[in-house]
A = this chain, B = another copy of it.
């Protein structure tokens, strides 16, 4: 069994959600059958979107510091429950010998393995994820198109994410519910919950909208568990 390392705290709720999904996706009948995980919940990592807007401190040195802490703890793989932070993944990969499991590659692989054929992908993510082309680049390489929502929708998505980060869960759900009503009418084949705050809000919206939604955090959790149990992802 291998030990997973999580560069976390972006935000803490999203890190909690990934940890919960790792536990849920592990076929364990007692404590000892669960995988060892070291979580570095480091909320002091500067805001990723602010940096990509050219307005904030560079998160990279903090991400490297967290990665080093996890390497010292002897982890066998690394991951980070923050889609926007994946703007830096190649920089991080260059500086470590440890396998870095990408949330973007995890959900991309799940979409490509799906029985349905998806071509146009609606991405619910931060402005930073769009600016940094975190999804565009790897998805377009596989012939998939990332659909941009209009500015109003994108602003409301950002608003729901930062309201949740501010600790106002109820208000965040309300904002997300409203914007999701508009998102369902847009043109795409499936949606990705591509900011780790979104899957925390998803259970509170009406699901019978006939929309296929991929939860990037769930994909990441499954890939991490499979890696640590030395299995292929089912």
Contacts and interface: CB of A to CB of B under 8 A. Distances in A.
Contact of A166 (B10, B30, B37, B72): B30
A39 B38 contact: yes
Interface stretch (A12-20, A104-112, A179-187, A206-214): A12-20
Interface string A19-55: 1100100001111111111111111111100000000
A11 B73 CA distance: 20
A74 interface: yes
Contact of A40 (B28, B35, B73): B73
Contacts of A42: 36
B47 A43 contact: no
Contact of A19 (B28, B38, B41, B167): B41
A119 interface: no
B16 A12 contact: no
A167 B36 contact: no
B19 A46 contact: no
Given A73-B69, A73-B72, A32 B44 contact: yes
Nearest to A26: B12
A165 interface: yes
Contacts of A122: none
Contacts of A40: 36, 38, 73
Contacts of A73: 38, 40, 69, 72-73
A163 to B, nearest CB: 10
Contacts of A28: 43, 167
A199 interface: no
Nearest to A41: B37
Nearest to A23: B12
Given A32-B44, A38-B39, 20 more contacts: A9-B31, A9-B34, A11-B31, A15-B19, A16-B23, A19-B19, A19-B41, A29-B166, A29-B167, A30-B47, A30-B166, A31-B43, A31-B45, A31-B47, A32-B45, A36-B42, A36-B43, A36-B44, A40-B73, A73-B73
Nearest to A82: B31
A187 to B, nearest CB: 33
